[in-house]
Amino acid sequence: MTLRVVKEVAAFRAACDEARTRGVLGLVPTMGALHAGHLALVQRARELSQTVALTLFVNPTQFGPGEDLARYPRDLEGDLARCREAGVSLVFAPEVSEVYPAGERTRVRVSELTEGLCGASRPVHFEGVATVVTKLFAAAGPCVAVFGRKDYQQLKVVERLARDLLLPVTVVGLATVREADGLALSSRNAYLSAQERAAARGVPLGLSAAAAAFQAGERQAEALLRLARQPIEAAGLALQYAELTDADQLTPLTGAVPERALLAVAAHAGRTRLIDNLVLGEDPAPIAEAAPASASQGSPSGAVR
Ligand code: PAF
């Protein structure tokens, strides 16, 4: 299969219009530095579509001041090779000025869903994501668009904007792809030193401890959160949040949690921000062998094998 690479919106739109005459068009929006998690999104898009288009665009508006926009990993040639191998037909790799033309004034803001979790510490982030995803949907007109569940709040924001703006696209969320030790794949993992990478395992350990306790019948939010926090803090990571929320509305839960609830965490390993989540009652534990535990049990090593 030949891969077509376009840099202009007009060429991207024309190629997508043409692809749609041949069947379902699937879109995989990315910021590049593609890894196995992105390739799983492509694979899912291929199962659902006749043509897969992928976007490579490090979107400046979703980075706040002092965040990692300048150092975000960029590898166009490597990404194109991975796209070719994965069966992508069309890549859109625009310059910033193509997506944000001079004088542009429009932003897309999804209220409420964006206020908690990552939105609390990254106030401009979801507005940037919602804006660029809306632009990419407007340019491509995809029938299906595939996003990873690792960015669970982002997935909910995209689902909501597609629904609220009456966009004729089916948004599909795909399970998080993990390293053998449970760490969620992320382009930002490339920033981690060997020591930080080892400590990062505290994140899937924390989620797994809570998942095991949930599985064993624990329903008290505070107890589940304590189990999630312990391995993260014991690994020396700086926990930013560990929260339980409604899995669809993302509203915080306290007291007894329902049979399906989002457990989401963010922590820093050095300067690198790690996020991860699972939907209790729906997703498997990131580390399958995590032992059942109760919050009243002591140390994280007691909670998780
Ligand atoms: O998840 C990402 O890589 C980005 O947030 C997205 C959806 C491509 C928007 O820039």
Select from 35, 56, 62, 161 the residue to mutate for testing ligand 1; criterion: most ligand atoms less than 8 Å from CB. 62
E strand or H helix at 245? strand 238-245
For the CA of 29, the nearest atom of ligand 1? 8
- The closest alpha carbon to 161, from 197, 107, 214, belongs to 107
How far apart are the CA of 30 and the centre of ligand 1, in A? Answer: 5
CB 46 within 8 A of CB 83: no
Q: Which fold has domain 4-174?
A: Rossmann fold (3.40.50)
- The closest alpha carbon to 39, from 90, 92, 89, 87, belongs to 87
How far apart are the CA of 200 and the centre of ligand 1, in A? Answer: 22
For the chain, domain boundaries: 4-174, 187-280
Q: What residues are paired with 5 via a beta bridge? A: 91
pTM (2 d.p.): 0.94
Domain 187-280 has CATH 3.30.1300.10: yes
Q: Is the CB of 218 under 6 A from ligand 1?
A: no
- The closest alpha carbon to 177, from 36, 44, 42, 278, belongs to 36
C-alpha dihedral over 63, 64, 68, 71, to 10 degrees?
Answer: 70
Q: Got the DSSP string for 136-168?
A: HHHHH--SEEEEEGGGHHHHHHHHHHHHHTT--
What is the spatial order of strands in the sheet that 238-245 belongs to? 238-245, 261-269, 272-280
Q: Is the CB of 153 under 6 A from ligand 1?
A: no
- The closest alpha carbon to 46, from 144, 114, 130, belongs to 144
Q: In the chain, pLDDT over 90 holds for what percent of residues?
A: 94
For the CA of 59, the nearest atom of ligand 1? 10
Phi, psi of 279 (to 5 degrees): -95, 110
Q: Is the CB of 186 under 6 A from ligand 1?
A: no
If you take atom 9 of ligand 1, which residue's CA is the nearest one?
Answer: 129
pLDDT in tens, the chain (305 residues): 799 999 999 999 999 999 999 999 999 999 999 999 999 999 999 999 999 999 999 999 999 999 999 999 999 999 999 999 999 999 999 999 999 999 999 999 999 999 999 999 999 999 999 999 999 999 999 999 999 999 999 999 999 999 999 999 999 999 999 999 999 999 999 999 999 999 999 999 999 999 999 999 999 999 999 999 999 999 999 999 999 999 999 999 999 999 999 999 999 999 999 999 999 999 999 998 765 544 444 333 333 22
Same-fold call for 4-174 versus 187-280: no
Q: Is 296 helix (H, G, I), strand (E, B) or coil?
A: coil
Q: Is the CB of 277 under 6 A from ligand 1?
A: no
If you take atom 8 of ligand 1, which residue's CA is the nearest one?
Answer: 30
How far apart are the CA of 32 and the centre of ligand 1, in A? Answer: 9
For the CA of 30, the nearest atom of ligand 1? 8
The one-letter code for the residue type at 53 is A
Q: pLDDT for 92-150, tens place per residue?
A: 999 999 999 999 999 999 999 999 999 999 999 999 999 999 999 999 999 999 999 99
d(CA 25, CA 169): 10
| Percent of the chain that is helix, strand, coil (3-state, to 5) | 40, 20, 40
Q: Is the CB of 158 under 6 A from ligand 1?
A: no
Q: Is the CB of 29 under 6 A from ligand 1?
A: yes
Q: Is the CB of 151 under 6 A from ligand 1?
A: yes
Q: Catalytic residues, which ones? A: 38
Q: pLDDT for 68-84, tens place per residue?
A: 999 999 999 999 999 99
